[in-house]
């Protein structure tokens, strides 16, 4: 008789001990085997209507993130928008495009926050054009030149700062949801980072700080 190594004998003994336990497991399978639940639903590709038509490419002046140097504003060697007069920058930008300078009462208090990652504050401003529509503009110093890097017009349900991104919330046709547009600096421009839907929120908690007085030309935030 040929003897097996001790490890082999131990393995065979273990398998022999498990064999009776394996039988009930295999016996639990249905005697009918796999059963069909019917024909799978046929998935059809969507039918495109007017497939030969497409919108014209976005023009530069229609691109909200197209960079534009603001004329008539002195260069800022420090690179910080905190050194600029917010209303002067806003008025120069709007009037250079043929618009009318907004009244100071329609301009929300400016916000300084680094959006371009250079550790120097950029300028975020909002003009309320009416009871519902507003316009958001973002300015940055690029090579000492005050430059507009973003302009958006719409119904602003909320504007937020998160992880260096600028997040704009706008209502949809369904009051339960808002569209959330996330902009981030890509090293050259503010680009669309993400576009999602989110649950509509209740009005934001009021700030514990008093509302600042209306801006007047020459004042800093």
The overall pTM is greater than 0.75: no
pLDDT of 38-47, one tens digit each? 677 788 889 9
Cα pseudo-dihedral 54, 58, 62, 66, rounded to 10: 160
Lowest mean pLDDT among 7-21, 152-166, 174-188: 7-21
Cα separation, 54 vs 61, in Å, equals 19
CA distances from 28 to 18, 81, 86 (A): 17, 74, 77
Q: Where do the domains of the chain lie, and which CATH numbers do they carry? A: 60-199 (2.40.128)
- What span, in angstroms and rounded, lies between the C-alpha atoms of 174 and 176? 5
Q: Residue 42 has what pLDDT?
A: 81
Among all chains, which residue has been given the structure tokens 């514990």?
208
């Amino acid at each position: 008789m040929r003897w097996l190594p001790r490890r082999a004998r131990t393995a065979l003994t273990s398998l022999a001990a498990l064999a009776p336990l394996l039988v009930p497991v295999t016996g639990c399978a249905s005697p009918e085997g796999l059963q069909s639940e019917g024909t799978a639903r046929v998935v059809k590709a969507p039918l495109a209507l007017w497939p030969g038509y497409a919108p014209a490419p976005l023009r530069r002046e229609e691109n909200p993130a197209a960079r534009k140097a603001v004329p008539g504003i002195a260069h800022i060697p420090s690179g910080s928008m905190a050194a600029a007069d917010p209303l002067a920058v806003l008025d120069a930008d709007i009037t250079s495009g043929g618009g009318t300078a907004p009244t100071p009462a329609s301009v929300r208090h400016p916000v300084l926050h680094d959006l371009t990652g250079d550790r120097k504050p950029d300028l975020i401003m909002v003009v309320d054009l009416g009871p519902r529509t507003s316009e958001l503009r973002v300015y940055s110093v690029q090579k000492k030149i005050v430059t507009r890097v973003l302009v958006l017009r719409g119904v602003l349900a909320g504007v937020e700062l998160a992880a260096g991104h600028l997040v704009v919330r706008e209502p949809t046709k369904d009051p339960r949801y808002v569209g959330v547009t996330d902009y981030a600096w890509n090293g050259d421009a503010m680009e669309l980072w993400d576009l999602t839907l989110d649950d509509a929120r209740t009005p934001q908690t009021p700030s514990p700080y008093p509302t600042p007085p209306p801006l007047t030309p020459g004042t800093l935030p």
